[in-house]
């Protein structure tokens, strides 16, 4: 399977240990080095292949691979949000993903309403301005790199006709963002558990699934040729 933006391999290593083969692409050679070292220590390096480069450069990075090379793909750490232009990415992915294979993506949502409310509650006006900017500046909302947020609908239009949309789910809706330190400081363990239960109820329901800071989007590779 193809993984975009694995970082240090939080999800990669468990997949390798389960017997999957993973082809990992990351913009940071340093993170890929960490990933390879972890795979070596875990005894699964023979099932891992890595390449350094941006998601926007997939067409060139994967040009030597045959059509339909992968049986699935995923990116769950926002690698697509690092790209100012995704116009060439869907076609590049469509070429190397076999028909009917799944593609799981986690994206930073352009219209995440709860994060804005959490920033308002904390009086963080600069954070609000950063959240509404494009690109979102480094450290503007707690992330070290500039980010380009977009909606599920925008993503689906870009991936059409090579991918069909199968599912949408917010990562969280009512739980504060990870960088809302003041709110978390006043939230008891039981309160956090209650928020988690509400998230479990709401994240797959409309309209809440469209409102979270991060959105899980599931695509299926169509039979439309590249």
Quick check: 142 pLDDT over 90?
Answer: no
Predicted local distance difference test score (pLDDT) of residue 12? 98
Predicted local distance difference test score (pLDDT) of residue 191? 86
Instruction: Kindly indicate the confidence band of residue 189, based on its pLDDT and cuts at 50, 70 and 90.
Output: confident
pTM: 0.92
The residue ranges of every structural domain in the chain are 54-221
Three-class DSSP labels, the chain: CEEECCCCCCCHHHHHHCCCCEEEEECCHHHHHHHHHHHHHCCCHHHEEEEECCHHHHHHHCCCCCCCCECCEEECCCHHHHCCCCCCHHHHHHHHECCCCEEEEEEEECCCHHHHHHHHHCCCHHHHHHHHCCCECCCCCCCCCCECCECHHHHHHHHCCCEEEEEEEECCCCCCCCCCHHHHHCCCHHHHHHHHHHHHHHCCCCCHHHCCCEEEEEEEECCCCC
Quick check: 181 pLDDT over 90?
Answer: no
Lowest mean pLDDT among 49-53, 130-134, 153-157: 130-134
Quick check: 110 pLDDT over 80?
Answer: yes
Instruction: Kindly indicate the confidence band of residue 133, based on its pLDDT and cuts at 50, 70 and 90.
Output: very high
Task: Provide CATH code, domain 54-221.
Answer: 3.40.50.150
């Amino acid at each position: 399977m193809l993984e975009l933006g694995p970082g240090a391999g939080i999800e990669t290593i468990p997949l390798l240990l389960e017997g999957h083969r993973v082809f990992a692409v990351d913009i940071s050679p340093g993170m890929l080095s960490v990933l390879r070292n972890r795979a070596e220590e875990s005894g699964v390096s023979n099932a891992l292949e890595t390449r350094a480069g941006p998601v926007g450069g997939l067409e060139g990075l994967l040009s030597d691979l045959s059509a339909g090379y992968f049986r699935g793909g995923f990116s769950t750490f926002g690698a697509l949000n690092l790209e100012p232009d995704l116009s060439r990415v869907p076609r590049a992915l469509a070429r190397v993903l076999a028909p009917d294979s799944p593609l799981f993506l986690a994206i930073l949502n352009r219209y995440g309403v709860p994060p804005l409310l959490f920033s308002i509650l904390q009086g963080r006006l600069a954070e609000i301005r950063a959240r509404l900017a494009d690109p979102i500046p480094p450290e503007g909302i707690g992330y070290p790199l500039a980010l380009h947020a977009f909606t599920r609908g925008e993503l689906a239009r870009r991936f059409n006709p090579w991918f069909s949309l199968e599912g949408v789910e917010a990562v969280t809706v009512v739980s504060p963002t990870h960088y809302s330190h003041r709110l978390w400081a006043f939230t008891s363990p039981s309160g956090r558990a209650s928020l988690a239960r509400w998230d479990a109820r709401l994240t797959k329901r409309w309209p809440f699934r469209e409102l979270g800071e991060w959105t899980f989007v599931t695509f299926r590779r169509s039979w439309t040729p590249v």
